[in-house]
Structure 1
Amino acid sequence: MAGQTDSTMTLFSSEEIEFMAEDEMAEIVPNLRMDSLNFICGDYGPFLPQLAAQVPLWLALALKKRGKCTIRLPQWMSVENLTRVLEAERDSHAFQPLPFHYVEISRLLFDHAREDIPDMYMVRSLIEDIRDVRFHKVETNLEKFTASTVTWKNMSAMEVNVIRAFAGRALQAFYKHDNEQETPDTDRTPNKQPQIPTDRPKRNLKPR
């Protein structure tokens, strides 16, 4: 079914890709004053009530769970934008520009910040439709895959994860097939008697 992936066909699990997506930046609106937060990856803050700030998604989710902020919906997740993207996906063979981790970001926001998403059910439905249409394109492209150079732009992490695993195995098969064609068939090569060299000197014949 479109939109579903087999874990044996991918290099990373959905949990691993989601973990990487948490490094994407998100905009929060704190509801209280907080000092700067210092991490190995960087410093964030200080935070003031009702003043928007940019933080990694993992930090936004952590503050959200503690009731210290709300998360602003990214512009690309608006109903208007998703409707336009869905129509363009259906009308074109190309992939429309979306964040590389759009699937994982939206899933995390649906799970942990649904009250911050206006028209949440409509947004979720549109993203699922977009994901299904795009995954159908992935399946179609894989059916036409050849060893020649191909270019697929604007693909998401989930889609790249599926194609990378398949393409690696396909290229190995192409390489093996080409090598087998270049290897001479010894069964069809005519047998020739090997010439055995000899170190014995030539004997001069006596004239009669």
Structure 2
Amino acid sequence: MDPSEVEFLAEKEMVTIIPNFSLDKVYLIGGELGPFNPGLPVDVPLWLAINLKQRQKCRIVPPEWMDVEKLEVIREQERKEDTFTPIPSPYYMELTKLLLNHASDNIPKADEIRTLVKDTWDTRIAKLRLSADSFVSQQEVHAKLDNLTLMEINTIGTFFTDSLNNLFKIRANLQPRGESTMSQEY
């Protein structure tokens, strides 16, 4: 899975909008949405919220966790702990990126939020790299990594599997060759 596929999955997350139009319920394959009444909040998938925002049909309400004070607590907790701490959304990075790219005017202190989420991401990826390094150097057979998001797993996945494959090849080449591998003379 590549990052664009993870972002696609994130676009299904529900967010709250304040529409400025009227419309009865909309029936989609994934379920019904609405009704839409001006000034009354309604939950919709992120993809629809962005589409309506681009057409100036709504204002997007940032998720509850997308608050400077809450993100500072999350960042500090992540820095203090050796393990991965729970994150408020499994798509925190993708939601932040999409909302700040398309609706930053609806998000108070958008630049601070961007920085805090990036700091949290950097801390988590550094922990993930250290965990992967430790896993490989200690020749572990399995690992348990709780509280990782799909994008974080996706980021380290290719590097990690390539590293393990190369390590396997190196170990296979270092093992003594048996009689079955010696060339036979005809």
TM-score by length of structure 2 reads 0.83
Task: Determine whether 1:83 maps to 2:92.
Answer: no
RMSD over aligned CA atoms reads 2.5
- Aligned counterpart, 1:3: none
Distance 2:28 2:176 in 1: 58
- Aligned counterpart, 2:5: 16
| Bigger share in helix | 2
The equivalences for 1:1-40 within 5 A come to 11-12=1-2, 14-40=3-29
More deviation, 28-37/98-107:
28-37
Q: CA deviation at 1:113?
A: 0.5
Distance 2:84 2:39 in 1: 37
Q: Is the 8 A contact 2:129 2:156 kept in 1?
A: no
Greater relative contact order, per chain length (Cα 8 Å cut-off, separation 6+): 1
Identical pairs, percent: 36
The equivalences for 1:1-208 within 5 A come to 11-12=1-2, 14-98=3-87, 99-146=89-136, 147-172=140-165, 185-186=178-179
Distance 1:188 1:62 in 2: 63
Q: Please, which runs of 5 or more residues in structure 2 have no aligned partner?
A: none
Distance 1:188 1:76 in 2: 60
More deviation, 81-90/62-71:
62-71
Which protein is bigger by CA-based radius of gyration?
Answer: 1
Distance 1:21 1:82 in 2: 19
More deviation, 31-40/55-64:
31-40
1:18-39 deviations in Å (ceiling 9; x for gaps)? 1221011111111221122222
Count of residues in Structure 1 that have an aligned counterpart in Structure 2: 178
In structure 2, the residue corresponding to 1:106 is in which secondary structure?
A: helix
1:35-57 deviations in Å (ceiling 9; x for gaps)? 22222222211111222111110
Counterpart residue type for residue 118 of structure 2: E
Q: Please, which runs of 5 or more residues in structure 1 have no aligned partner?
A: 1-10, 190-208
Distance 2:167 2:126 in 1: 24
